[in-house]
Structure 1
């Protein structure tokens, strides 16, 4: 088998497009955000942001919502993904297609669907009004945003879980079962550790997506205090470019930190199972 090597100039040519995209779409915009947010007074600007209770409450609410969505998504997607991989039944391809179909929906469409489900004239409100005499409306709250984020997060994680589940070594499960392990012990000690790298990576992407999602929040935003909406308000209504840029940097730093931790944990898990 021949070892294929490329001259230095060809390697540079192959890497150049990625470097150009990285420079144009990440490095330069981030440098511009840092420059705008500093406004000539870097320390004072970020001290003002970090000591502003409204901005910090918005950041905390965004982190809490993203963490809750990630946890719920991982649980539901793992159960559904394992079921779809391990069992064959009529209509399975159609069900997989339906579960992954929301990947094609933009955030505004997801927000509109939440309104149709739990809005003032939504299906849930009509049913509860008939059953209890009261109309349940939660589309325009954090609960509605949670439902919307969960809706578009599950397909992403299910795809990852199914890909990981197809590579599981079933002989390990059979060995554990022959040694008297219960189904719960097999799940806890065999299946979940094997799925851990994929789940951590998918959870990190899910968290990052929920942190920065804007379309759904914008569609539902009546009484929702999440950081993307705070940035939007500072940028459009108040024309406060410094605050909007600073909050964008904070949002990016939190997301980057979570992705970095997830990457380190995934690397450790892979090394431990090797």
Structure 2
């Protein structure tokens, strides 16, 4: 191996060992440290609380990913291809949530849909009673979509910039309407980017804790369940086991997305 190659591989090895190998080496033995051993993993199915936590987390992540990709894709495409005064400011505002911690996002959702939030005030003023959605899965969904959309928008803007306009022009010359050009030319060209950013949205939603912790009144998702087992119950083995399950689900999704995005770029 050339010395130049060695210089580049050392940081990668340090990151791999520090942030993956060592945590996994510690986590896996902890997940089988109870008297039940490997049988503890069966509680993912037999324990109703664990099972509902896994299912609700996966479903929430899927819906968040779908909504974020759908909204972010068209927003990013519009912002990349449309020039208007203040465009840079709009892009900056859309990407601003990337700098917010989960607690801040949760607080914003409470200000919007909490018991004294804007939605409750407006619905009460219209005589419909207080409309409160912040403290359940609806509030968590809104919070996750809020900080997921900027990831999609920035990715789509970068991908749209690389699309060769000759293909869309050819379709337009042949008489294809705008919606068909979007369906048959633009979206397929953006597919690898959409798959990749969708996988990141899914992974982020699976493991996000700050927003869920801020809103956690009627919320049963894996990060909160892990936190409860670790801090309130001091059940280290169960917390580690649930962490492994969360990691495996997320890893499988990321791997599948990576392979799908490669297939999308392979020539036919």
Taking structure 2 as the reference length, what is the TM-score of the superposition?
A: 0.96
CA contact (8 A) 1:49 1:246 kept: no
1: CA distance, partners of 2:227 / 2:118: 30
The aligned runs of 1:176-191 (5 Å cut-off) are 176-191=171-186
Q: Distance in 2 between matches of 1:48 and 1:139?
A: 30
Whether the 8 Å CA contact 1:234–1:244 is kept in 2: the answer is yes
SS in 2 for 1:244: helix
The unaligned stretches of length 5 or more in structure 2 are none
The residue aligned with 2:260 is: 265
Residues 23-42 of structure 1 aligned to structure 2 (within 5 Å): 23-39=17-33, 41-42=36-37
Deviation at 1:51, TM superposition (A): 2.1
**More displaced, 43-52 or 103-112?**
43-52
Q: Which moved more, 1:182-191 or 1:48-57?
A: 48-57
Deviation at 1:178, TM superposition (A): 1.6
- Whether the 8 Å contact between 2:43 and 2:50 is mirrored in structure 1 is no
**1:116, CA displacement in angstroms?**
0.5
Provide the aligned length of Structure 1 versus Structure 2: 267
The equivalent of 1:205 in structure 2 is: 200
Is 1:143 matched up with 2:138?
A: yes
Q: Distance in 2 between matches of 1:58 and 1:9?
A: 49
**2:12 paired residue number:** 18
**Pairwise CA distance, 1:22:** 1.3
Pairing 1:96-175 to 2, within 5 Å after superposition = 96-175=91-170
Runs of 5+ unmatched residues, structure 1:
1-6
**So what's the TM-score if we normalise by structure 1?**
0.94
1:272 counterpart SS class: coil
1:56 equivalenced with 2:51 (yes/no): yes
Counterpart CA distance in 2 for 1:269 and 1:13 is 32
TM superposition shift of 1:169: 1.5
Instruction: Tell which deviates more after alignment, 128-137 or 240-249.
Output: 128-137
Q: Which residue of 2 aligns with 1:247?
A: 242
Displacement of 1:9 in angstroms is 4.2
Q: Which range is displaced more, 154-163 or 165-174?
A: 165-174
CA distance in 2, matches of 1:245, 1:30: 10
Structure 1 contact 49–243 (Cα < 8 Å) conserved: no
Aligned to 1:4: none
Q: Structure 1 residues 111-120 or 173-182, which shifts more?
A: 173-182
Task: Note if 1:73 corresponds to 2:68.
Answer: yes
SS of corresponding position for 1:156: helix
SS of match in other structure, 1:73? helix
> CA–CA distance in 2 between the matches of 1:132 and 1:167?
51
State the SS of the aligned residue for 1:121.
coil
Task: Describe the superposition over 1:35-91 as per-residue Cα deviations: whole angstroms up to 9, x where unpaired.
Answer: 000116543121233322211111010000000000000111111111111111111
